[in-house]
């Protein structure tokens, strides 16, 4: 039987794990209409540097009792020759409402189920003017999910792909012809698609499942969401004087705000709140652990006064064993300040009522805004900002809301006559003392700043468990002269009243007034 590798214990009911305000109080869910195929075109990275325009067409997305089956076609409108390997990331389906993530089934050798390569493993014949038909298998997606966002074609995000409920998937190709046209000297007849033998998942099939993990930061607190788990982190420099466990004057107000957020967010069926103290790396391990316990106990006592009975508390002190920022570098002071913190970890409750407003006095970082999945479009909108650096131009498109998230689409263009290997920043573009986990990957240095509140939204990551994280942006390889490549970054969505955000674009600098669209 095919199996999955979940990041955490996934909720079988697939209940919405949401808190905060909603964008759909009055309108209700949009009607989902099928309009296959869903098509996108753009330049993709190839291992040979022969980066051509590819047309990627999703022709079906079937939900059977056993699998989710994606049917798609690939062709190259401008021509394509030779043996090349597409360098795009693994095909991934994302439920934008809950943040559940699903990847393809593969066997123990890493080969994907579905369309079987007729030649060297993982390689398929490609001929000018011919369309290749493929299918791939994903884990079954909960029945309540009607639309998903697809990434992994090398062409950014394809939102609003509807799921078709069927008893059985489409029949296998009747006469797969891929093996008959392995050589460029043996092209298929005109207007004949290439098809391949199909292999369904068997007992050796494994698929990664995970969650979108997001991070929102402010001067006094930050929050991390990972599936049905939420962690509020209060910065200790706001809460305590140096080397002390007594609360500062500001601390009571901060804990009071946190209490309002906890009352709203904690799962009433699992009302356990774990209060965890952390220190920086100065001092001995034993001293740091004792200090972190004392601080956690102090915060626990005040929190219990604020929210009253009905909650179970556990206190832990972890000293300096779990830093979120790297100490010892040029921003050592900021990194140590980031690592000195007290956390509240808990399970999230279910979805809010659609009429519910989130205008209480809780922590701004703990508010969450949820809309419906974005409809499909192959149009990113007009370019709203452009910045050039060292022969590479960054074009920025409007931000789009997609369920619980914002999709940020950018394009990189090599404006020189030679191949370019752009510096995308990554950890080098990390804000002083910022969390490393949410600063990795191609667009890891990108953030969204909400000028009115000071909230900073980091690039979200996909968490597949056991320390395996992936970003949403494709890895950037050598940019060929004159070519344009599309990338996406995913961020936790801001409040419904937010219409513009400042993009911190890593080495390209800050770009203000990026519009937030629907």
Residue 112 pLDDT: 96
Q: Locate tokens 């913190």: which residue?
A: 341
476 and 395 together in one domain = yes
Structural domains counted in the chain = 2
Residue 60 pLDDT: 99
Whether residue 118 has pLDDT greater than 90: yes
471 CB-near residues (< 8 Å, 6+ apart): 440, 441, 442, 443, 444, 459, 461, 462, 489
> Is 418 part of a structural domain of the chain?
yes
Comparing CA positions, the residue from 325, 273, 266 lying closest to residue 303 is 273
> Is 393 part of a structural domain of the chain?
yes
Alpha-carbon distance of 126 to 146, in angstroms, equals 33
326 and 419 together in one domain = no
The CA-based dihedral angle spanning residues 282, 285, 290, 295, taken in that order and rounded to the nearest 10 degrees: 40
Q: How confident is the model at residue 4 (pLDDT cuts 50, 70, 90)?
A: low
Whether residue 242 has pLDDT greater than 70: yes
Residue 5 pLDDT: 60
392 and 512 together in one domain = yes
Whether residue 353 has pLDDT greater than 80: no
* pTM for the full predicted model: 0.89
The sign of the torsion formed by the CA atoms of 21, 449, 457, 408 equals positive
- Give the CATH number for residue 457: 2.60.40
Whether residue 358 has pLDDT greater than 60: no
393 and 510 together in one domain = yes
Alpha-carbon distance of 395 to 486, in angstroms, equals 9
Q: How confident is the model at residue 93 (pLDDT cuts 50, 70, 90)?
A: very high
> Is 192 part of a structural domain of the chain?
no
Per-residue three-class SS string for 372-408? CCCCCCCCCCCCCEEEEECCEEEEECCEEEECCEEEE
> Is 153 part of a structural domain of the chain?
no
340 and 393 together in one domain = no
Residue 228 pLDDT: 83
Residue 335 pLDDT: 82
Whether residue 430 has pLDDT greater than 80: no
> Is 131 part of a structural domain of the chain?
no
204-218, 279-293, 384-398, 415-429: the lowest-pLDDT one: 415-429
- Give the CATH number for residue 305: 3.30.1330.60
Residue 334 pLDDT: 82
340 and 407 together in one domain = no
Phi then psi for residue 212, to 5 deg, are: -75, 125
Residue 235, CB half-sphere, CA atoms under 13 Å: how many? 20
Pick the last residue of a domain from 347, 364, 394: 347
Residue 12 pLDDT: 32
336 and 275 together in one domain = yes
Structural domain harbouring 291: 229-347
């Amino acid at each position: 039987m095919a199996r999955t590798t979940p990041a955490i214990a996934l909720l079988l009911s697939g209940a919405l794990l949401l808190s905060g305000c909603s964008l759909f109080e009055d309108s209700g869910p949009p009607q989902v209409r099928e309009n296959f195929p869903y098509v996108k075109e753009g330049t993709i990275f190839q291992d040979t540097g022969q980066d051509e325009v590819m047309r990627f067409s999703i022709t079906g997305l079937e939900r059977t009792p056993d699998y989710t089956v994606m049917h798609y076609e690939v062709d190259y409108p401008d021509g394509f020759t030779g043996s090349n390997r597409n360098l795009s990331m693994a095909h991934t389906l994302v439920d934008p409402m809950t943040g559940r993530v699903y990847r393809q089934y593969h066997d123990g050798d890493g080969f994907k189920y579905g369309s079987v390569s007729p030649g060297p493993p993982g390689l398929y014949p490609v001929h000018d003017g011919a369309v290749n038909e493929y299918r791939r298998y994903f884990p079954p997606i909960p029945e309540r999910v009607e639309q998903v966002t697809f990434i992994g074609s090398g062409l950014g995000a394809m939102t609003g792909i509807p799921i078709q409920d069927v008893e059985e998937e489409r029949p296998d190709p009747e006469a797969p012809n891929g093996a008959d046209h392995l050589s460029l000297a043996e092209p298929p007849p005109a207007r004949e698609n290439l098809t391949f033998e199909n292999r369904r998942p068997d007992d050796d099939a494994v698929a990664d499942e995970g969650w979108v993990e997001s991070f929102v930061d402010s001067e006094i607190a930050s929050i991390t969401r990972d599936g049905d788990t939420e962690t509020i982190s209060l910065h200790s420099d706001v809460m305590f004087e140096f080397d002390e466990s007594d609360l500062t004057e500001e601390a009571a107000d901060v804990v009071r705000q946190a209490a309002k957020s906890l009352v709203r967010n904690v799962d009433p069926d699992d009302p356990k709140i774990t209060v965890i103290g952390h220190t920086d790396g100065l001092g001995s391990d034993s001293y740091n652990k004792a200090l972190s316990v004392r601080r956690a106990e102090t915060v626990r006592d005040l929190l219990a006064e604020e929210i009253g009975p009905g909650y179970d508390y556990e206190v832990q002190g972890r000293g300096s064993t779990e830093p979120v920022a790297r100490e010892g570098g040029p921003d050592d002071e900021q990194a140590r300040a980031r690592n000195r913190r007290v956390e509240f970890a808990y399970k999230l409750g279910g979805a809010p009522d659609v009429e519910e407003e989130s205008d209480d006095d809780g922590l701004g970082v703990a508010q969450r805004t949820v809309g419906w999945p974005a409809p499909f479009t192959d149009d990113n909108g007009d370019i709203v900002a452009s910045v050039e650096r060292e022969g590479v131009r960054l074009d920025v498109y409007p931000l789009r809301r997609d369920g619980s998230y914002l999709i940020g689409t950018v394009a990189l263009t090599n404006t020189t006559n030679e191949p370019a290997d752009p510096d995308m920043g990554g950890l080098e573009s990390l804000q002083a003392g910022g969390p490393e986990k949410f600063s990795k990957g191609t667009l890891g240095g990108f953030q969204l700043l909400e000028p009115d509140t000071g909230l900073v939204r980091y690039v979200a990551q996909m968490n597949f468990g056991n320390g395996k994280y992936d970003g949403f942006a494709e890895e950037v390889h050598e940019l060929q002269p004159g070519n344009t490549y599309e990338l996406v970054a995913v961020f936790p969505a801001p409040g419904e009243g937010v219409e513009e955000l400042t993009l911190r674009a890593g080495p390209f600098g800050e770009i203000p007034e990026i519009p937030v669209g629907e």
